[in-house]
Each structure stands twice: as C-alpha cells, then as structure tokens.
Structure 1
C-alpha cells in the first residue's frame, strides 16, 4: 500500500510529498523544493530508504533541493518531461529572481513522458504529460491508491499560472479537462500548494473549469 506525508518547504509553502511503499519501505520525494535536512529527517523518522527523487516540473520551488539530495544520498533524479530542461538550466536566474539561495543548474538522470511508469517497491505510479503551467509538466498517479500528484497544474478552487515563459492557458485547460478529469471523480489530488481536493469536486465547482476563460 502506498502511504504519504506532505511536507511544506520553502517560503512559498510548496507541498513536497514523501511517499512510500509500506511493504518494502522504499520511498520517494516528489518535488523537493528546498530544506533538504528537513526532508531527510522525515525519511529517517519513518524508517524509510529513499530510492527516487521525482519532479513534476522545473520551477525552483519544486526542484531546489533535488541536486543536493542526489549528491548526499546517491539517489537519481527522475523527471520532469524534457521540455522543462530550459527551466532547470535557468535555476541560477530563478533563485536570484525570487531571493532564494543560489541554486545551480542540473540535469535529471532520467526524463519522464506520457505513459511511463515509476515503480516504488510494490507500488506503481503512472506518468501523465500535462503541459500548460510549464511546457514539460508531468503528473504522477497511483491508480491503486486513488491519488494524484499534480504539481502546479490544478489547485483546490484554482489552476496553475500561465504567465511564466512558455506557459499557455488553453494548453493547461486541455491538460486538465482531457487528461486529468477523465481519471475519475474520486481521485484525490495533492497539489503543489494548498489543500488537496478531488477531481470530481473541481470539475463541479472550480470556476476555471465550470466557466473556463479560453
């Protein structure tokens, strides 16, 4: 069974998720945006072994601790889609722009694409390509657990920004309506910021989806 803990990090209160297989105790960090010591302490507290560092997209608040964690643990970085490579190359500029400590550029060990699978112990995550907030954004879904990690694609009552370079509102809406919502109303999603929700609740009440602005 897949279990998880949401650990907010960075001044942007980004929802890093520690997820793990409760049979093998293999763990992954999804979007470790910063505070590596805090994240490693959580892994130790649960008695887990980190085996994956997973990224949904290339924005600083979602990837800021990834390279440090790779250096300190030897665990490879997987994701996002290669279309976000330019964001990872721009990490020094991103950190300067937002007043963060200098964050060097890095390259993941493996990119992700639509249809890929990530194996975590006896649990599996399906990869869905959901561009719009960034051109290389991916979403990670455990169909068995009914959980989705959606990064900054969708929020409770809102959607991701599209005013950053290569963001696109119409593309984001298509990603949500054609890729995410068909996964099922009962899917609980953990967004990159703020509280979780269900896809069904957002389909029925999210103003960006019920009255989309194209």
Structure 2
C-alpha cells in the first residue's frame, strides 16, 4: 500500500485529535446558513434528476452533512481521512455507511457515483497537489453526475494559506478552482459567493460542476 503524503498524515492526525470537539461544533452548523442549505438542496436536486448513481460526501467528518443529504432524498454515504471522525459518524448515524479513505485514491469503481459533495474538504490540500483530486472525482463520477465544492474564497487575492483552527488551509479564487475542475472534465452549472457572517473570517465559495458526457 502506498504511504499517504505528509499533508494527508498531518490532516488526519489533526482531525483525529480534535474529533469530539469538532463534531460538537459542526452538529448544527447548517441551521443558521440559508444560502448554504440552498446550494446543497440545488445539488441534491441535480443529482436526483441525473439518476446516475449514489452520492458520496468526501471529507464527511462527523457525518452531519451526509445525514442532511439523506434527508433530502439521496442514496448517500460518507468517506473521511480521519478514523476518529468516521467512528463518530457511525455512532451518530448508524443507518448510513461511512468509510475511511482519501479523496485522491478512492476505493470506488469508475463512473459509479451520481454525485460528490466536497464540503470544505479540499481546503487543506496544498495547491500543487489539488489537480489529482479533481481527476479522481472525474474518474468515479458517471457522465452527467454532479460535484459540489464548498471552500474559503480568496476575495481577489491569489491562493492564500491561512491558520485554520484544525490545520493549515487555503483560500482559493473561485475562478481558479472552477478552472481546475474544468481541466478535469467538468462544466460549471452554477456558483454562489457568500459574504462572511458574524464570527466568520472569510467569504465562502460554492461551485456546482457537472461531469462532461465525453472526456
């Protein structure tokens, strides 16, 4: 088995160490965020209409967004790099499937998925390492399947590292992130930029991308 890269080990260890605290923080995080819930609902509607297969939340953490997708009528499962997070998700939502895995090397057959939700889960990936993630998303998505990315937007700056409370993360220009997805065989379906709310530091970006029929 290939050893995980340094940033993957660092990220997994950091989330393992903070798993219980993070799960408590994230449990009701969507409740005061109508725009975030709206973009997730739009993604769910696209994925249902495409009818191309189950949906995976990649970087699912303690599972609360995976459960939200289930409540929106999707056949969904979660994958996360942190074993401690997966343990919490399995205990909290025993009716759902959760697996330990890395987004750049998924144990999923080609074209198996109808949708992927990446909810602030590529943010810890160094910029130079991100293109293979999009290639892997394209591999496991069926033609016509959908990808939803949520991330911290750079607000006119280039890709910028910042001191995320768990481990180093990166803010991206929304056009640059959309361009990486397009290079991997996706077409943009829509985007939302949300200004930071009280207690938030940065603008939030959301991209819905459709996997091209022919690559």
In which range does the TM-score fall when normalised by the shorter chain?
0.3 to 0.5
Q: Which has the higher helix share?
A: 2
TM-score, scaled to structure 2:
0.38
Structure with bigger RCO (C-alpha 8 Å, 6+ apart): 2
